[in-house]
């Protein structure tokens, strides 16, 4: 599959998706969002892939938001369509059955912060900056920022960031619970890869079920407790469960095949 605005590579069962528009600080135009959607679908359907890392090109920016030059002259209907498209793709990231780790290597503003929040885990470099500056453009966030930010940092702090458009640095994002870990920039990709390597050793079906349970908790569409009961029962039907329990009893390392 060929891409124009992203790089897609795979190593040791981990796929890395890199938004590659460094001259625009990796701002997301419509085409790039669509390519991220295609890349996630591709990683999802590839049996050899068990985890995904999402990052931006260069050492200054993860993603500096939606591409402002693209929507400056939009009509309201075009604006709604763009926002819906972003929601569809970012929801697909959140709903991916394989863990998606955001390697936030610089500015994560607007759509960049929103995409990082749609990922399952966030590691940030020391120079990363987070913010939802849309109000400065006369806009609301359009890719889930008003819904996901309060979940991570609480309503009061989220509203403050959303209505001032202020940026916070990586340490503050860590303190607020928006990122899992802050590391020196040169260690970011390696740390994310090490994390991914730990994840790929675990049972893929169980991981997919955990992500689904947590998504049901967050999105409140279905009762997450019911989802968990069903997931637990389902996992017991899998070969991975038999492998995991036999390996424990045989005092050996399990080898999970994802079935
Ligand atoms: N959309 C389109 N282009 C963008 C962009 C965006 N969101 N963010 C940065 N760029 C472009 C700039 O226009 C500039 O392009 P140019 O060289 O052709 O003029 C290039 O990326 C470099 O950005 P620049 O502003 O010169 O870098 P900086 O270090 O001075 O500032 C930021 C960095 C991130 C603070 C600043 O670019 C910015 O505020 N970007 C917009 C952030 C935003 O509002 N995002 C939400 C959009 S809904």
**For residue 85, what is the domain's CATH number?**
3.90.226.10
Distance 72 CA to ligand 1 centre (A): 14
pLDDT category at 220 given cuts 50, 70, 90 is: confident
Q: Is 181 among the domain residues?
A: yes
Statement to judge: residues 108 and 136 lie in one domain: yes
Give the mean model confidence (pLDDT) for residues 130-138: 98
Greater model confidence, 220 or 55: 55
Distance 42 CA to ligand 1 centre (A): 30
List Cβ neighbours of 192 (8 Å cut-off, separation of 6 or more): 53, 55, 101, 103, 123
pLDDT at 66 over 90: yes
| Helix (H/G/I), strand (E/B), else coil: 124 | strand
Last residue of a domain, one of 159, 182, 200: 200
Q: Is 256 among the domain residues?
A: no
Q: Is 258 among the domain residues?
A: no
Statement to judge: residues 49 and 165 lie in one domain: yes
Q: Is 259 among the domain residues?
A: no
Please work out, in degrees rounded to the nearest 5, the angle formed at the alpha carbon of residue 191 by the alpha carbons of 258 and 40. 45
Statement to judge: residues 38 and 127 lie in one domain: yes
Statement to judge: residues 137 and 223 lie in one domain: no
Statement to judge: residues 231 and 128 lie in one domain: no
Distance 228 CA to ligand 1 centre (A): 43
The pLDDT score that the predictor gives to residue 1 is 75
As a whole number of angstroms, the distance between CA 135 and CA 246 comes to 56
Which one of 65, 71, 140 would you pick to mutate in the ligand 1 pocket, going by the greatest count of ligand atoms within 8 A of its CB?
65
The pLDDT score that the predictor gives to residue 4 is 97
As a whole number of angstroms, the distance between CA 191 and CA 189 comes to 5
CB 133 within 8 A of CB 110: yes
> How many angstroms separate the Cα of 90 from the Cα of each of 63, 117, 139, 159?
14, 9, 19, 21
Distance 218 CA to ligand 1 centre (A): 32
Q: Is 37 among the domain residues?
A: yes
The pLDDT score that the predictor gives to residue 9 is 97
List Cβ neighbours of 84 (8 Å cut-off, separation of 6 or more): none
Q: Is 255 among the domain residues?
A: no
94 in active site? no
Atom 2 of ligand 1, nearest CA residue:
67
Q: How many domains does the chain have?
A: 2
List Cβ neighbours of 57 (8 Å cut-off, separation of 6 or more): 7, 18, 19, 20, 21, 22, 26
Percent of the chain beyond pLDDT 90? 97
CA of 68, closest atom in ligand 1: 1
Last residue of a domain, one of 185, 200, 215: 200
Q: Is 234 among the domain residues?
A: yes
Is the pTM higher than 0.95? The answer reads yes
Give pLDDT tens digits for 174-195: 999 999 999 999 999 999 999 9
Q: Is 213 among the domain residues?
A: yes
Distance 67 CA to ligand 1 centre (A): 9
Statement to judge: residues 189 and 219 lie in one domain: no
pLDDT at 26 over 80: yes
160 in active site? no
Atom 10 of ligand 1, nearest CA residue:
24
pLDDT at 250 over 80: yes
What are the structure tokens assigned to 103, written together? 């390697």
The single residue of 114, 160, 187, 243 carrying the catalytic annotation is 114
The pLDDT score that the predictor gives to residue 193 is 98
Statement to judge: residues 127 and 190 lie in one domain: yes
Statement to judge: residues 89 and 215 lie in one domain: no
Last residue of a domain, one of 184, 200, 216: 200
Statement to judge: residues 27 and 95 lie in one domain: yes
The pLDDT score that the predictor gives to residue 218 is 86
Statement to judge: residues 76 and 143 lie in one domain: yes
CA torsion, ordered 159, 160, 162, 163, to nearest 10 deg: 110
CA of 110, closest atom in ligand 1: 46
Atom 14 of ligand 1, nearest CA residue:
24
Give the mean model confidence (pLDDT) for residues 38-42: 98
Statement to judge: residues 13 and 97 lie in one domain: yes
Which one of 25, 113, 164 would you pick to mutate in the ligand 1 pocket, going by the greatest count of ligand atoms within 8 A of its CB?
25
pLDDT category at 222 given cuts 50, 70, 90 is: confident
Pocket of ligand 1 (CB under 6 A): 24-25, 27, 64-69, 107, 109-110, 133-134, 137
Atom 1 of ligand 1, nearest CA residue:
67
As a whole number of Å, the end-to-end CA separation of the chain is 26
Q: Domain span at residue 111?
A: 6-200
Statement to judge: residues 121 and 243 lie in one domain: no
């Amino acid at each position: 599959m060929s891409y124009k605005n992203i790089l897609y590579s795979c190593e040791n069962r981990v796929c890395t998706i890199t938004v590659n528009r460094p001259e625009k600080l990796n701002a997301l135009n419509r085409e790039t969002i669509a390519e991220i959607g295609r890349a996630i679908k591709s990683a999802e359907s590839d049996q050899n892939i068990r985890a995904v890392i999402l990052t931006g090109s260069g050492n200054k920016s993860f993603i500096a938001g939606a591409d402002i030059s693209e929507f400056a002259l939009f009509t309201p209907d075009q604006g709604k369509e763009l926002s819906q498209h972003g929601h569809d793709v970012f929801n697909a990231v959140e709903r991916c059955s394989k863990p998606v780790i955001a390697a936030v290597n610089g500015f994560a503003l607007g759509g960049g912060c929103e995409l990082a929040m749609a990922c399952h885990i966030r590691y940030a470099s020391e120079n990363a900056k987070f913010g939802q500056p849309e109000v400065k453009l006369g806009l609301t966030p359009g890719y889930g920022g008003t819904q996901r930010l309060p979940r991570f940092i609480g309503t009061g702090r989220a509203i403050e960031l959303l209505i001032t458009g202020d940026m916070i640095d990586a340490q503050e994002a860590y303190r607020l619970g928006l990122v899992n870990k802050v590391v020196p920039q040169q260690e970011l990709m390696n740390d994310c890869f090490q994390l991914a390597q730990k994840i790929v050793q675990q049972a893929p079906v169980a991981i997919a079920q955990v992500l689904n349970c947590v998504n049901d908790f967050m999105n409140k569409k279905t009762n997450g407790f019911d989802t968990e009961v069903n997931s637990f029962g389902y996992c017991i039907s899998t070969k991975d469960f038999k492998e995991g329990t036999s390996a424990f009893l045989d005092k050996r390392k399990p080898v999970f095949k994802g079935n």
